[in-house]
Structure 1
Amino acid sequence: MTGPRIVLAPDKFKGSLSAAEVAAALARGLRRALPDAELVQTPIADGGEGTVDLVLAHGFTPRTCEVPGPLGQPVAARYAVRGDTAVAEMSAAAGLGLLPPPGPTERTALHATTLGVGRLVADALDAGARRVVLGVGGSATTDGGAGALVGLGARVLTADGAEVPPGGAVLATADRLDLSGLDPRLAGTELVVACDVDNPLTGPEGAAAVYGPQKGATPDAVATLDAALARWADVVAAATGADRRGEPGAGAAGGIAFGLSSVLGARLTPGVRLLLDLTGFADTVRGAALVVVGEGSLDAQSLRGKGPIGLAALAHEVGTPVVAAVGRSLISPEEARAAGLGATHPLTDLEPDPERCMTEAAALLETVGRRIGEDLRARH
């Protein structure tokens, strides 16, 4: 007789372990308490890094193309295809991890481009995709998606008709958006942006102000980029007849969500739920004894439907109980229960030193896994 089926579906512990490493550590601990359990390891992602790996584990096929990186250097961008659906990560073409040493600086913040993202989408169209899902976490860019549109055939022009160079800061010189050369296949393509933030494009809660500093932007650079994005929004509004700079999510990933939604009609949608639907996650958790979710920090952002909370909501719909293994929890037990988590197991309960929590996360997660298994065994 086999033991209970337990689905291990954590997200990454940022700066510490990948989602797959978290799942493996939990599995080792659970095996100690429940050696006969059927453990299903399905690491998840929320639209950021790990998104392509997630769908590749569920029947998608990898494809690679060479595109310009955030500073124009050629990079090999991998994405996933199944039938007429492609899933890509913006970070594969314009990610912080593609910046040369020393990493993000004021210069890269001002000049990084999403040109390669547009070229990646074009390659997906070449591969037969008519639905393209783009995860937008981890970007190095603040160009409002202008580069991506250029990569798909648009032209951003100055008042004297010259091409505006790549990057965010130079959008201050933009005067006109010429859409006559857009790839005609886009008209028959569903473009979906997996986006878990609700920032507008500009202003104190906008792309430059909130996310610019982590991309190397100094206060002066933030002001430069915000003003340039405002100019870009004026130009886009003139070309499309609608001003969407204030819409929730427009500021995602340096404003690429604004550019793609305003010009191409891209749909912005929460990343977790979209990816769970793509991978048939409801079928995986239906009938399981338990789902174990997790992420490095369970906090107010999580409660907006990110990571484990989005997953817990889906598991709840099919009647499967959920517990969470997290690096730390910044929400109350009542909030956790209201969000569908039957129990929360922070590593900080075992090791109060945050630095040791990160360096020893695998061993601590093993202990948490054993405790979860013991709790389940006691209840059954």
Structure 2
Amino acid sequence: ATPDTPLSPQPVPNLTFCAQNLAGRQLVAWAQVEDETNVPALWLFTNTGVPNYATIPLLSPKVTLNIKPAVSDPVSVSGDHVDASFEASKVKVGESITLTVTTKACDGEPAINAPFVIRREDAINRQGVVNNANPVRVGNTELTTAQTEYHGVTDGQGNATVVVTQENGPGVKTRLIVSSQNYPTLTDNVDVIFTTITSPDSDKASMYGHMIESATATLNGITYTFTRPKLAAEASGADKSVVDTNETWALFNWNGADNHCNILPDAEQLVQMRHEHSTLATYTGWPATDDAEYWSSTKDQMSGYHAAVHMNSASVVRAADSDTLLVSCVDKAQPAAHPQITLSPQGPYKAQVGESIDLTMTVVDRDTQKPLP
């Protein structure tokens, strides 16, 4: 409302201003003329100027009302696990947030055993797009729509605690509105965020997430660190993109992948990384839907092809360099192989001229003792 626009609804006489959520407000009041067709008028005349007369309707003057502020907020709510950067309570999907609801009278004294209501607004993702999939649960009530309500009562000190969860949430922020049941205009709100492992904690991400930024794997006694694939919005030089679990990821052909990484992992490194992060406890959250393929630096026997690794199955396949796949970079390449040749049986060897000696040659890496091609 403005000084010229009436409040809607208008204050009622049987409730205090505080109970109507008007405490601390500055209002403008003026009389309501019952019969606007018969308003008293004042006739003015002047000896100078043109026009030199006018009729002025006599209406009641507007009066400013400064309403005393309440000693404290009649209804307030706060949550634990506050993330100041988001101005919200933030936990991972599957974890819980505890809300504390407090009700007080306008004089600041606790309003005991006061009934209250909690409802929600539309949930939004990190880019502000509405996504109401798998909504929050307040206590034992799932707020399936913005009209669904949780009802509670404060205790003898005017306090109540309520647990909020969001099982299988997509990674969204939900605003919860707490209001007095008896005085519904008295409200407060709190934002809750439940993050998902399938989205990175990036301002370019669609959803609120806690995806692992890097993962390690140990191969032949050496530990390697791999970085997560880039979102399409984070990467430069990507050739295509793919949507996986609400996020859009960058895809590169092999040359683009090789340019994108300082070091592109070989197939053996990628397979080991996948094996070490295949359980729920070690899951990275990196895109793997539909057996997503990741580029490797391993050359194929055919020109124009390299090995790719299916991140779901850890299988290695041949991929044309023109294919567009996901990319994870690694901090270092495997050390160069040092061939070690062994003949069996061991010499010395002796045979007559014209006879043959049957030998078996084994070629392994000197450091790992693994066979070399």
TM-score range, shorter chain: under 0.3
Task: Tell me the TM-score normalized by structure 1.
Answer: 0.23
Q: Hey, which of these two has a bigger chunk of helix by percent?
A: 1
Higher relative contact order (CA 8 A, sep 6+): 1
Bigger fraction of residues in strand: 2
Bigger Cα Rg: 2
What TM-score do you get using the length of structure 2 for normalisation?
0.23
